[in-house]
Amino acid sequence: MAKSPVTFSCTACGATYNKWSGRCDACGEWNTIQQDKGISSGPPSKSLGTRRGAAMVLTDLTTKDTPPPRSQSGIAELDRVLGGGLVPSSAILVGGDPGIGKSTLLLQAAAHFARSGLKTIYVSGEEASAQVRMRAQRLGLSDASVQLAAETNLRDILTTLEEVKPDLVIIDSIQTMWADNVDSAPGSVSQVRAAAHELTSFAKRRGVSVILVGHVTKDGQIAGPRVVEHMVDTVLYFEGERGHQFRILRAVKNRFGPADEIGVFEMTGEGLAEVTNPSALFLSERGTPAAGSVVFAGIEGTRPVLCELQALVAPSPHSQARRTVVGWDGGRLAMILAVLEARCGIPFAGLDVYLNVAGGMKISEPAADLAVAAALLSAREDVALPAETVVFGEISLSGALRPASQTENRLKEAQKLGFTSAIAPAGGKPVGKNGITLNTMSDLTGFVGEIFGAG
C-alpha cells in the first residue's frame, strides 16, 4: 500500500514544501515550516474510508427558483460595492490597514442592517463589549438592536450562532479566532484557514450572511493563506491615506456584482460619511494649473472618477536617477519613459522622475498611460496644460494610442465638473454631443507634437 506524501507548510505565509527546512524561501521567516496533518488517519486508498456518507441533494439546472432578495444597508456606497445589497448566505472578507476604519464602517453597517430588520450579531475578538458600546455611542448608534459579543473561541461562537439563528454575523477579526481542534497559535495560517472554512460553511448551511475582517501584511495583502480569499464570495479592501480624510472601499472579488467597484467615504468626527461625488472630492484641492499637473478621467468599476496626476522631473544629483511612484504601478511608469525615449526621442536619462496620484487615490487601469505621459512631458518642458482639459488613453509599445472603454461616461463626468475639452485616442466608439470638445490623437508622436510642439 502506497503511503500518502508528507508535505510541509509555512505557518507565516502558507507556502508548501516537500521537505522540511529551517527558513521559508517565500517569506524569509525562520522556524515556521511545520508538517501538515492529514484530514483522516484512515487507509490512504482511493476513497475517504470504509464508512459511507450521506447522498447529496441534486437539483435540475432548469429549476426556476426565485433568487433571494438582497438586504439594503441604507449606506448607498456600501450597497454599490456589494453589487446592490447584502446577499443571504454570503461570506464577505474585508481587509485594510490598522486604524483605517474597518471596525467603524462595519459597526455603522451593522446598525443600519439591524434598523432595516435583520437580526445582527457583532463578534469582536480584539475589543471588549464595553469598548464596542462606547464606540457605538460616539457614532450615535447606541439605539440600534445589535447584539455584541467579545469571544475568540470558534466552537463557542458557532454554538451561540446555532441557537440564536441571526441573519448577519460580523467577525472582527478572523486572525483572532481560535479553533481548539487545530494545534497552532491564533493568527497562524492553519488557524485562519480553519476558522474561515468553518464560518463560511456555517453561512452556506444556515443561510446566514457572514462578514469577516482580515488584517493585512506590509505588502497590503490580506494576511494568511490566499485560499481564504477563494473560500468567500466577496473580497473588499478598505484603502486610504492617513493624511487624507477620505477612504475607498474597493471590491477585488465579487460573485454577486462587478469587481473593481468602489465606494468613497469621508472620515469625520461622527464616523464615516458617504461621498456621492468622489470626482469633486479628489479635485477639491486642485489650485491653479501648474506644470506637471494633469486631470485623468478614469473608470472605477462602473463609476467614472476624475483625479489629478502630478509629475515632477528634476536633474538628478546621483549617478542613478530616481523613479518614485505613489498611487500607480512603477513598472508601467518605466514602460512609458522607455516609449517616450524610443518612439518620440525624448530622453529622461539623468533626470529624477516623481509621479503622484493626488488625494491618495490608487489607479490600476491602463487608460491612465496618456495622462501620465502628458504629466511627465508637462513637467519636463515646464508647460502647463489647459485647466479645463482631461486626458485618458492607453499607450502601446509601438507608440500608438489605443482607445479606452466607456469613453462617453468619462466625458459626461468631465462635463459635469466643468471641463470643456478632452484628449483621447482616435478610433474609439463614436460618442454623442455632450458639450465637451474631443481632441483625438492616433499616436504618441502626434500627441507630443501637437500639445508640446516637439517630437
* pLDDT digit string, tens, across residues 204-236: 999 999 999 998 876 666 766 677 888 999 999
pLDDT of residue 432: 65
| More confident site: 218 or 304 | 304
Is 60 annotated as contributing to ligand binding?
Answer: no
418 carries a ligand binding annotation = no
Joined grid coordinates for residue 2:
502506497
285 near 359, Cβ under 8 Å?
yes
108: alpha, beta or left? (left if phi > 0; alpha if psi -120 to 50):
alpha
98 appears as a binding residue in the annotation: yes
- pLDDT category of residue 304 using cuts at 50, 70 and 90: very high
The residue assigned the cell 464602517 is 105
64 annotated as belonging to a binding site for a ligand: no
Query: Cβ atoms within 10 A of the Cβ of 80, count?
Result: 22
Q: 102 among the known binding-site residues? A: yes
Burial class (CB in 10 A: 0-12, 13-18, 19+), 245: middle
Q: Percentage of the chain with pLDDT > 90?
A: 56
| Range from 12-26, 41-55, 158-172, 369-383 carrying the lowest mean pLDDT | 41-55
Put simply, whether the predicted model's pTM sits higher than 0.75 gets the answer yes
Q: Is 353's pLDDT higher than 50? A: yes
Residue 62 has pLDDT above 70, yes or no: yes
Gap between the terminal Cα atoms of the chain: 73
Residue 53 annotated as part of some ligand binding site: no
Residue 225, annotated as binding a ligand:
no
Is 180 marked as a binding-site residue? Answer: no
